[in-house]
Structure 1
Amino acid sequence: MTTSAPLSPATAPDDAGPDGGSRLILVTGASGYVGGRLVPKLIDAGHRVRTTRRDESKEQPWWADRVETVTMDVNDADQVRAACEGVDVVYYLVHGMGGKDFVEKDREAAEIMRDAADEAGVGRIVYLSGLIPPEAPEEELSDHLSSRLEVERILSQAQASVITLRAAVLMGSGSTSFEVIRQISERMPLQTVPTWMDHLVQPIAIVDALEALVASADVDSPTRSYDIGGPEQLRYPELLSRYAELAGLTRPQVDVPLLPTKLVSVLAGRMTDVPAPVVEALLDSLHHDMVCQEQDFVRDLLPQGYELMGLDESIRRSLADPRETEPADPDAADPMGPMPHDPSWAGGGDQSLFQRAADTARDVLPGRD
């Protein structure tokens, strides 16, 4: 297959690939929460899809027989170049969340992808990032958000036009943001809220984010970023209260001043099944308002007349019990609910409050082995 020529900055990809057929789309991070839900939508849109995986022994998603799958480590330049060969559009959905060197690894991976995309003549790169609080100096951003911004800037140096979608809290069963809310609310009799957490957030339903992601392959735009968020802005403590109410839980809130972020992150990480580095990164972002500066993504990326899902509906649809509602045909499943490829800690996890509390005490209290 021949590769497409690089696009000028103001040109969007054509609907057809260079050979006149459907375009070839590379989805990195396809085994993740967003990627696993995005791939079927790209297939339904008529695209040919190539996905990447690092671990060949890992169980394949249900849609694997409809895509081409290649082995690729994002920090292996040869593998990335091979994965980009003949590709028209790249979805870059990989990022580090933990480890002492995740910033350096993310930087290196972005540089490798930028160079490989240039070499392959990729026409469009779509990157899913995090909302950047406009009022916060860059030096005050968390390592997580700083790294996301750095990756965005590196990818934007590519010859391809690059569309970055910046999201805060993704609502949906299996989303790390949602699972932290769910598991903390279900396992703790009180909602202990540090005063530094009293900032605005603008959650977006995963189904709305997927619509924007699919459209990003085609939007006629030069390199730019879009903030994406749902129809409602609210303070994070109110989001916790709304979840508890809709989940049928009674969870009084207690405001606690002067709680160190690190302590809260450690405790929250221990009280949930979500990987601790992910929890820490999410909580770090709550020192600032995480809301959209503009809502122009609705105009540019969503069908005319499209209505964003309201917060209450997104919570209700996310609360489906995976042990009761996993469909026989995943293609017919609601992306807001559980899906077969979701991690074991999705759906509320499966560890009892007593066991989780005992493990937390053992790990964080002094004098414990």
Structure 2
Amino acid sequence: MRVAVVGASGYVGSRLVPELLRRGHEVVATHHRSPATAYPWSGAVQWRRVDVHDEEQVVEALEGVDAVVYLVHGLDDDDFMRLDRLAADNVAYAAGVVGARRLVYFSGIVPDLPDDELSDHLLSRLEVEEVLATAACPVLTLRASMVVGAGSTSFEVMRQMSHRLGVVQTVPAWMGGSVIQPVAVRDAAWFLAEALERPGVTGHLDVVGPDRVSYVELLRTYAGAARLLRVQVPVWLAPVEAVARVAGLLVDVPSSTVASLIPSLGHDMVAERDAADVLGEPPGGRLELAEAIRRSLATPAADGAAADGDPQAPSVGDPEWSRHRSVLDWAISSALRR
């Protein structure tokens, strides 16, 4: 099957492509500016340039494909909600024009709440899902909460803050009671590839790991795996906007992305329709949280995006801000930026 991975150079896409190649699929990888030649699989795919906000370009980029995986999210733009709707509409239209037989979208778990209680980040994910569902082919949305793996945006926010906040970590009270089911990127990639090959499954499923933890327990699990001495202390007077600003200053992840993600931490992110109940379990079962974190922090034997690598490991193609630095290096660079 010829599969177009729209957003192949992103984090999840970079780990999905080798899984698709292992399964014998031909991969068409889209890029916006230039191909991500740093990834080990770059020479094994057909690169096509596309601006997802240009309908004609999207149709041309998807020409001849049998299936589409849509992985684009525009959190780094102030107008990301409108742009994401436009891009999704173009992809849904193009999938019908080229005769694609399957469309899979990787989204985020959306709590069952009124729209006005959802963050812009979650509301945008839901809107994109609804737009893509209008495509003239079977469509499945896989919803995930936090994706665990070196290079993952949410994982890197947790890692960098855990190392930089010191022994005492303040946790806003409004997120202290929220429950989350993080999923290892290895398992997320497997579920995406499996979903492509199961066109009879439509609607949405939740891609989660086997552990349900609070955010406090998540931070403690990370600290244990990283061998850090950390104590979490709840803080009651911590407005969402203030937390987002402080987090943006503490980490190397783009501050606009952090600001979009933080408001979602006040919601439970757990499965209502577990993908494993429908698609089955990955070989060997899903990684437990502590093991997924441990493998994400281990010194890798091979590139994380290589065919023989551990997807949990870092890749040379990952964003520069995902390169872990010591607290001293971070402090020096922060001081130089001021």
Q: What TM-score comes out, normalization by structure 1 length? A: 0.86
User: Could you tell me how far 1:268 is from its partner in structure 2?
Assistant: 0.7
Pair 1:86-2:74 in alignment: no
Instruction: Supply the RMSD in Å over aligned alpha carbons.
Output: 2.0
Aligned pairs for 1:56-135 (under 5 A) are 56=34, 59-134=37-112
Partner of 1:211: 190
Pair 1:156-2:152 in alignment: no
Q: Secondary structure at the match of 1:227?
A: strand
Kindly indicate whether the alpha-carbon contact (under 8 Å) linking 1:270 and 1:356 is maintained by their aligned counterparts in 2: no
User: Could you tell me how far 1:303 is from its partner in structure 2?
Assistant: 4.7
Pair 1:336-2:336 in alignment: no
Kindly indicate whether the alpha-carbon contact (under 8 Å) linking 2:19 and 2:307 is maintained by their aligned counterparts in 1: no
Kindly indicate whether the alpha-carbon contact (under 8 Å) linking 1:97 and 1:278 is maintained by their aligned counterparts in 2: yes
Kindly indicate whether the alpha-carbon contact (under 8 Å) linking 2:28 and 2:48 is maintained by their aligned counterparts in 1: yes
Aligned pairs for 1:242-281 (under 5 A) are 242-281=221-260
Kindly indicate whether the alpha-carbon contact (under 8 Å) linking 2:248 and 2:255 is maintained by their aligned counterparts in 1: yes
Pair 1:227-2:192 in alignment: no
User: Could you tell me how far 1:178 is from its partner in structure 2?
Assistant: 0.8
User: Could you tell me how far 1:274 is from its partner in structure 2?
Assistant: 0.9
Partner of 1:283: 262
Pair 1:320-2:280 in alignment: no
Pair 1:46-2:24 in alignment: yes
Q: Secondary structure at the match of 1:230?
A: coil
Q: What TM-score comes out, normalization by structure 2 length? A: 0.93
User: Could you tell me how far 1:223 is from its partner in structure 2?
Assistant: 2.8
Query: Are the structure 2 counterparts of residues 282 and 329 from structure 1 closer, same or farther at C-alpha, using a change threshold of 3 Å?
Result: closer
The one of 318, 322, 325 aligned to 1:346:
322
Tell me, in whole angstroms, the C-alpha distance in 1 between the residues paired with 2:284 and 2:58: 36
Kindly indicate whether the alpha-carbon contact (under 8 Å) linking 2:303 and 2:314 is maintained by their aligned counterparts in 1: no
Partner of 2:114: 137
Report the more deviating stretch, 109-118 or 345-354: 345-354
For the pair shown, which has the larger CA radius of gyration, 1 or 2?
1
User: Could you tell me how far 1:114 is from its partner in structure 2?
Assistant: 0.8
Query: Are the structure 2 counterparts of residues 70 and 275 from structure 1 closer, same or farther at C-alpha, using a change threshold of 3 Å?
Result: same
Kindly indicate whether the alpha-carbon contact (under 8 Å) linking 2:18 and 2:305 is maintained by their aligned counterparts in 1: no
Tell me, in whole angstroms, the C-alpha distance in 2 between the residues paired with 1:210 and 1:161: 19
Tell me, in whole angstroms, the C-alpha distance in 1 between the residues paired with 2:281 and 2:231: 40
Kindly indicate whether the alpha-carbon contact (under 8 Å) linking 1:166 and 1:227 is maintained by their aligned counterparts in 2: yes
Tell me, in whole angstroms, the C-alpha distance in 1 between the residues paired with 2:325 and 2:51: 28
Report the more deviating stretch, 309-318 or 95-104: 95-104
Kindly indicate whether the alpha-carbon contact (under 8 Å) linking 1:228 and 1:292 is maintained by their aligned counterparts in 2: yes
Q: Secondary structure at the match of 1:179?
A: helix
User: Could you tell me how far 1:259 is from its partner in structure 2?
Assistant: 0.7
Query: Are the structure 2 counterparts of residues 327 and 99 from structure 1 closer, same or farther at C-alpha, using a change threshold of 3 Å?
Result: closer
Tell me, in whole angstroms, the C-alpha distance in 2 between the residues paired with 1:344 and 1:303: 33
Tell me, in whole angstroms, the C-alpha distance in 2 between the residues paired with 1:24 and 1:329: 20
Paired-residue identity, %: 43
Kindly indicate whether the alpha-carbon contact (under 8 Å) linking 2:302 and 2:308 is maintained by their aligned counterparts in 1: no
Tell me, in whole angstroms, the C-alpha distance in 2 between the residues paired with 1:300 and 1:39: 22
5+ residue gaps, structure 1: 1-22, 363-369
User: Could you tell me how far 1:57 is from its partner in structure 2?
Assistant: 6.9
Partner letter of residue 205 of structure 2? Y
User: Could you tell me how far 1:233 is from its partner in structure 2?
Assistant: 0.6
Tell me, in whole angstroms, the C-alpha distance in 1 between the residues paired with 2:105 and 2:5: 10
Tell me, in whole angstroms, the C-alpha distance in 2 between the residues paired with 1:255 and 1:328: 35
Kindly indicate whether the alpha-carbon contact (under 8 Å) linking 1:320 and 1:338 is maintained by their aligned counterparts in 2: no
